Amino acid sequence: MIQAAPTTVLWRPTGPEEHELLRQAAWRAWPRRLPEQPIFYPVLNEDYAIKIARDWNVPHHGVGYVTKFHVESEFLQRYPVRQAGGKTILELWVPAEELAEFNTHIVGLIEVVHEFR
């Protein structure tokens, strides 16, 4: 029997546009970045994702979502963890041109775990 590769849980706050693109992709892949978005940044902490969705997405878009997804841990080693503020404000910075490959290492579906309005 083949054993599944270990995975890492990642989180991502999203607004309504990205949420709709995820739905269209059957919750299996992140959409391409826009030209002004050179980095895709999932976060390593649910609380940080909640803060962004609630405190930034809601005032700017009227709604914010927090998603949870699993990625093969070995693949993620190529992306150093970036501290974007305090000790728990941790992100991975995935260059936009690597997002299609990143998507192939997602295990299972991308889930919406919180919605704020």
- Tell me, what's the pLDDT at 92? 96
Q: Judge if pTM exceeds 0.75.
A: yes
Query: Which domains does the chain possess?
Result: 10-116 (3.20.170)
Q: How many CB atoms lie within 10 A of CB 26?
A: 9
- Tell me, what's the pLDDT at 5? 81
Phi and psi at residue 99, to the nearest 5°? -65, -40
* DSSP, res 83: E
Tell me which residues of the chain have a pLDDT lower than 50: none
- Tell me, what's the pLDDT at 3? 67
Report which of 94, 85, 10 is spatially closest to residue 55, judged by C-alpha positions: 85
